[in-house]
Structure 1
Amino acid sequence: MNLVIAEKPSVAQSIAAVLGANKRHDGYMEGSNYIVSWCIGHLVELATADTYDERYAKWDYADLPILPENWQYSISNGKEKQVRILKELANRKDVAVITSATDAGREGELIFRLVYEKIGCKKPVKRLWISSMEESAISDGFKALRDSTYYDDLYHSALCRAKADWIVGINATRLFSVLYGQTLNVGRVMSPTLAMIVEREAAISAFKPEPFYTIQLDCGTFILSSEKLTDRQAAEALLKDCDGQTIAIHSVESKKKCEKPPKLYDLTTLQREANRMLGFTAEQTLSYAQSLYEKKLITYPRTDSRYLTLDMSESTPAVVKVAAGIFMPQSFEFSICIEQVTDNSKVSDHHAIIPTICIQDCDLASLPFGERELLLLISLRLACAVNESCKYEETTATAIVSGVEFTTKGKTILSEGFHDIEKHYHAMQNDKQSLEKEKALPTITADESFVVRANIKDGKTSPPKHFTDDTILAAMENANNALDDSERKGIGTPATRAGILEKLIKTELLERKGDKKTKHFLPTQKGVSLITVLPEAIQSPQLTAEWEENLKRIEHGLLSPDRFLEDISQMTKSLINTYTPIKGSDVLFPSNQEAIGKCPRCGNDVTENKKGFCCLNKTCGFALWKDNKFFTAKKKKLTKAIAIELLKNGKANLKGCYSEKTGKTYDAVVLLDDSGGKYVNFILEFASDKA
């Protein structure tokens, strides 16, 4: 019996259908000598800090750095049942082999391996590695299973990523939160990303627009323009020299050029284009793409490749025809050059994102809006990428007046190529702006003369643009790029960048602003202040990019995981030992709420809200709830005065407590008994106890 473990229930159902495991049970399916079960995302994760020592439940500068020697793992909250099911299935006597069928990538490998280790399984493991959920791809994948040891380096890379994020996240977040009195989330990838956005906004704020002037000569059927002039008087003088004069065309130059078809999508380029054209956030695009993948309509989305493998050359043309048929009339014919999109040397773990042949049976109208629009984009890109180049002739006409060169350009399309398909897509979308043609110049010859009317066109230099999902993804991908694309050192991975952006928003360090379609990122005051106090080592995109490159080296067996983690640990130790708080931080991190005392766990301020008295450090978890059963059972209310006493002295007097047993009242002292757990406990002390 072969136990197959997928990453999600929907993927497991697709695999089970191919394998013939059609008998449903609680948490798995069985049949034809296969058991197919699933994880639910991450079932097992790195344990919290207090797992190593109870005192870490409270945030204390003296405990830093926290660097586990023997890493521990815990079952993710609410997922205990599925782990138990997997353990029971793995221990069945009739199960001889386990097949890992989680997503074929770094995180998928980690998800399976941590579960495998947690349930204490020792049975041999095979790895299913596929890029499509089509039945043929699943069937072929099971015929080509590899021993899981082949992917050991990938697992080590994934585990190092998780541990590095834990080390930096836990220690740096606690350090800066404790020193500055409020929750300040710091992360290995989060902080450099935030730093880029803060730096961009600083450049926008500091920008001072400068005027410029362009002289335009109206020749009747076309307009000649000068270069930008920064001096107004010089521009007006040139205007006088030109207006009403007869000018001769100095030269006319025509060049035949060609615009190559676009490359296929990897995840990042898909997210960027979906943001530009559709207004989708990076996270929305990833969510829609994952759903389309699970519906067998596109190939694996979490890829950084923009090419297909040579073995796909025979099957892809049929997919191209179906994809093009969405936009083009059936009678339309175009050449399909698969060679343009196939290159094994440029494919990493997975090939580019393309539709599957299953789209021919898909009712597009039945898909949710986001999924439908994304599938149309992916189909359009495939049809364009294998099509011919757009060929055109570019003409430049030049005139010289008073020693100043004036030019005009025009383009004449000789062969539309892939733009033909794009036009049909834009027509389907009723996108009139994209359908507008570029103007061609009228026939102009050298030495031809024109009487011109001149005017000045005023303008101002523009500030840098706010980051959008599109442009910040590009910045994250290209952080510290060398000229050679093979030396790319980006921040994060295609699969994780969207989550990083959303976490920055969730932790109130960033916000999205703008209209429905065109939104951009703005740092909050808290985000700006955090970057102000963070040292360069934590906020440097270059350093983080080098870490990502080292994770790639681990994946390819070129770097020791222990060496990588030792470097991370040493950097963390240095940060803790050398960092000193910036003076005047109360200005950077003001609190608008009245503090009633200090948190006994992390030392941050405790403030009052509608439900209780809570630590400002949201990740700390300390709270004294007003409707606490300990007090309500005694017909007492945890008032502000009592909370202040408890925080100041660890105890408070309670008079007139009601006894449920006797129905009488009594006086006592309530003691704060906090062990760092989810809830704060209390103990009653009576006069007799003190004696």
Structure 2
Amino acid sequence: MKLVIAEKPSVAQSIAAVIGATDRKDGYMEGKDFLVSWCVGHLVELASADSYDEKYAKWQYEDLPILPPDWKYVISKGKEKQMKIIGELMKRTEVTQLVAATDAGREGELIFRLVYEKLSCKKPVKRLWISSMEESAIAEGFRNLRNGSDYELLYQSALCRAKADWIVGINATRLFSVLYGQTLNVGRVMSPTLAMMVEREENISAFRTTPFYTVQLDLGGFMVSGEKLQDKKEAEILCNDCDGQNVTIETVEQKEKSEKPPKLYDLTTLQREANRQLGFTAEQTLEYVQNLYEKKLVTYPRTDSRYLTEDMKDTVPAVVETAAGFFSLQNPSVNMKQVIDNSKVSDHHAIIPTMSVKNCDIQSLPYGEQEILRIIALRLVCAVGESCRYAETVITAKCNSSVFSAKGKSILDDGWKSVEKLYLADKKEQTQEEKDAALPHACQGEVFSAKATIKEGKTSPPKHFTDDTLLSAMENANNAMEDAERKGIGTPATRAGILEKLIKTGLAERKGEKKTKYFIPTPKGISLITVLPEAIKSVQLTAEWEEQLKQIERGTLSPKTFLESISYMTKDLVSTYEVIKEANTLFPSKIQSIGQCPRCKGSVIENKKGFCCENRNCGFALWKESKFFTAKKKALTKAIATELLKKGKAILTGCYSEKTGKTYDAVIILDDTGGQYVNFKMEFPAKKGGKK
């Protein structure tokens, strides 16, 4: 009997239906010599720092760096039941083989392998590797199961990524939070991304707009323009000299040009297009396309390829024809050569619709899924279409001794843009070609009378990042040219989460109206980048780390070497970093501190329920409704809390005794062991002539 483990319950159900495991049980399905169970995302994760030593529950500079010699793993909170079910299924004597059916990618491999390792399973593993949830794809995948050992390097790469994020995140977050007295989230990919935002804002702030002036001559049927001039008086003189004068056409050049069809979508280009056209965030797009994948309407979304494989050339034309039906396009052109390239497909091919869209009532889908499915279908039809051919006309003219020019464009054959027109017409929008004006017929030597005007303009600053442009910057961190190797930070699957974490941790905001929203770093985010050293915020260094993870996957770099370099960098950071002077101006506390946190040395502030460390990840708190005080009919006041933090003890008079009903005085001692709750001890002041 085979035990199949999927990543989600919905995926498990689709797989079970194909292989005949239709008998539903608690946490799994059974049938036809198969058991099918599922994870719920990550069932196993790297253990927290305090699992290595209880002292790490407190955030203290003296304990850094924290570098586990032997890594520990724990069952994710709230997922113990499903983990137990899988463990019991693995132990069954009739189960002789496991099938890893988690998502076919780096993270999916990690999800399965951590469960397998945590449960100390030794049974042989096969791997289901598919790019579509269609029944035919699942069935084909089970007929061609691969050896689990073939994906050992993929697993090692995923594990190194998780460990590197743990090392940098735990140590750098604690280091800067402790040194600057408030929670400062630092991440291996998150911080360089924030650094790009801050640099962009600095460039915008430093930009100084300069005006320019262009003299334009209206020749009746079209306009010619001179060069941009910085001097307004010079433009006014030229305008006066040309107004009402004869203008002679010097040259008329017409060239036929073509625009190739766009490439298919990988996840990042889909997220960028959805943000540009529809205003969806990267996270929203990932959610919509993942849902479409699980509904068997599109292929696997977490891909970095924009091409298809040779074995798809006979099946995709039927998908193209179905996709074209979305736009009422009959007999679409299909040129498969331009979308097929085996050398540019690694784990998964580009995202395209599946044949299941043929029976899909698109109107029944949620709005976001409808729109994403439409643009995926549109891109497939465009990508296999013919080039768009157009004529570009350039006219130069002379008035007195000054040269003016005009450029026009007229479509000769829409090619792939014909379907784009249909899509935009449905949205009541125009294509760029429809906006571009064609020039009227003009001959060399022809003379016109000019009406001159001055058009004023000004230079524009760089634009704030959107999801679209920030994803592009993350993908191409080394600024490679189109055909060069791109070295990015993060992966297609993780970038959306990184952007959302920047917002969640208060380091950045999304601002704007309607579809276009911009990323703006908060004052806290700007201050954090100000104090971070280059090693932590360097986009280039992080891109190199991502490249090294790919090398681990290819077997050209050892995991040990990679993690040693991360550990060395972390040790160096802790030992050499010096606090920036006047840091209190960078990280001002909005609430008055009543004392220093005994755990992480941050500030303790008052709120409705108690006196808590401002560093939320620390966990230190003195609760006003603590039973230790309420049982004695005393209140934990601000004055007592301040004294406890300052001296470690405080005098408490008039304490009520539940045993005797009398009152007494005591010295309360702060006895914090770093657990969930702070403990207290009591000492009794000595009576006159007596002992304590």
Residue of structure 2 equivalent to 1:156: 156
Instruction: Quickly say closer, same or farther: Cα 1:31–1:270, change in 2 above 3 A.
Output: same
Instruction: Quickly say closer, same or farther: Cα 1:59–1:581, change in 2 above 3 A.
Output: same
Residue of structure 2 equivalent to 1:348: 346
Query: Of the candidates 670, 675, 678, which is equivalent to residue 676 of structure 2?
Result: 678
Q: Any idea what SS the aligned residue of 2:591 has?
A: coil
Q: Distance in 2 between matches of 1:237 and 1:177?
A: 62
| Unaligned stretches of 5+ residues in structure 1 | none
After TM superposition, the structure 1 = structure 2 runs for residues 163-562 of structure 1, keeping only pairs within 5 Å, are 163-329=163-329, 332-431=330-429, 436-483=434-481, 485-562=483-560
Q: Distance in 2 between matches of 1:663 and 1:342?
A: 87
Return the TM-score normalized by structure 1: 0.97
Task: Using the TM superposition, name which of 404-413 and 635-644 deviates more.
Answer: 635-644
Cα offsets for 1:172-213 (capped at 9, x unmatched): 111111111111111111111111100000000011001101
Residue of structure 2 equivalent to 1:80: 80
Residue 50 (str. 1) matches residue 50 (str. 2): yes
Q: Is the 8 A contact 1:426 1:434 kept in 2?
A: no
Q: Any idea what SS the aligned residue of 2:594 has?
A: strand
| Shift of residue 685, structure 1, vs aligned partner | 4.5
Residue of structure 2 equivalent to 1:566: 564
Q: Distance in 2 between matches of 1:41 and 1:485?
A: 36
Residue of structure 1 equivalent to 2:652: 654
Residue type at the aligned position of 1:468: T
Q: Any idea what SS the aligned residue of 1:230 has?
A: coil
| Unaligned stretches of 5+ residues in structure 2 | none
Residue type at the aligned position of 2:131: S
Residue of structure 2 equivalent to 1:108: 108
Q: Is the 8 A contact 1:249 1:397 kept in 2?
A: yes
**How many correspondences in the alignment?**
689
| Shift of residue 657, structure 1, vs aligned partner | 4.0
Q: Any idea what SS the aligned residue of 2:327 has?
A: coil
Instruction: Quickly say closer, same or farther: Cα 1:232–1:634, change in 2 above 3 A.
Output: same
| Shift of residue 41, structure 1, vs aligned partner | 0.8
Residue of structure 2 equivalent to 1:583: 581
Q: Distance in 2 between matches of 1:54 and 1:16?
A: 44
Q: Distance in 1 between matches of 2:433 and 2:238?
A: 37
| Shift of residue 660, structure 1, vs aligned partner | 5.2
Q: Is the 8 A contact 2:264 2:306 kept in 1?
A: yes
| Shift of residue 536, structure 1, vs aligned partner | 1.0
Q: Distance in 2 between matches of 1:531 and 1:63?
A: 24
Q: Any idea what SS the aligned residue of 1:595 has?
A: coil
Q: Any idea what SS the aligned residue of 2:36 has?
A: strand
Q: Any idea what SS the aligned residue of 1:264 has?
A: coil
After TM superposition, the structure 1 = structure 2 runs for residues 638-649 of structure 1, keeping only pairs within 5 Å, are 638-649=636-647
Instruction: Quickly say closer, same or farther: Cα 1:134–1:662, change in 2 above 3 A.
Output: farther
Q: Any idea what SS the aligned residue of 2:585 has?
A: helix
| Shift of residue 626, structure 1, vs aligned partner | 2.1
Q: Is the 8 A contact 2:246 2:399 kept in 1?
A: no
Q: Is the 8 A contact 1:238 1:402 kept in 2?
A: no
Instruction: Quickly say closer, same or farther: Cα 1:624–1:434, change in 2 above 3 A.
Output: farther
Residue type at the aligned position of 2:534: E
Residue of structure 1 equivalent to 2:2: 2
Cα offsets for 1:585-638 (capped at 9, x unmatched): 111111111100111110000001122211111111212222333333444332
Q: Distance in 2 between matches of 1:358 and 1:663?
A: 77
Residue 26 (str. 1) matches residue 26 (str. 2): yes
Identity of aligned residues (%): 69
| Shift of residue 306, structure 1, vs aligned partner | 0.2
| Shift of residue 677, structure 1, vs aligned partner | 2.3
Q: Distance in 1 between matches of 2:430 and 2:644?
A: 67
Cα offsets for 1:252-307 (capped at 9, x unmatched): 00010111111100000000000000000111111111111111111111000000
Q: Is the 8 A contact 1:481 1:487 kept in 2?
A: no
Q: Distance in 1 between matches of 2:134 and 2:676?
A: 45
| Shift of residue 428, structure 1, vs aligned partner | 2.0
Residue type at the aligned position of 1:309: T
| Shift of residue 483, structure 1, vs aligned partner | 3.9
Q: Any idea what SS the aligned residue of 2:253 has?
A: strand
Return the TM-score normalized by structure 2: 0.97
Q: Any idea what SS the aligned residue of 2:411 has?
A: strand
Instruction: Quickly say closer, same or farther: Cα 1:163–1:247, change in 2 above 3 A.
Output: same
Instruction: Quickly say closer, same or farther: Cα 1:385–1:663, change in 2 above 3 A.
Output: farther
Q: Any idea what SS the aligned residue of 2:65 has?
A: coil
| Shift of residue 674, structure 1, vs aligned partner | 2.1
Q: Any idea what SS the aligned residue of 1:365 has?
A: helix
RMSD: 1.7
Q: Is the 8 A contact 2:321 2:331 kept in 1?
A: no
Q: Distance in 2 between matches of 1:402 and 1:231?
A: 20
Q: Distance in 2 between matches of 1:640 and 1:269?
A: 54
Cα offsets for 1:53-81 (capped at 9, x unmatched): 11111111111111111111111111111
| Shift of residue 684, structure 1, vs aligned partner | 4.3
Cα offsets for 1:453-487 (capped at 9, x unmatched): 00000111000000000000000000014447452
Instruction: Quickly say closer, same or farther: Cα 1:661–1:516, change in 2 above 3 A.
Output: farther
Q: Is the 8 A contact 1:328 1:421 kept in 2?
A: no
Residue 141 (str. 1) matches residue 141 (str. 2): yes
Residue of structure 2 equivalent to 1:41: 41
Residue of structure 2 equivalent to 1:98: 98
Q: Distance in 2 between matches of 1:431 and 1:271?
A: 21
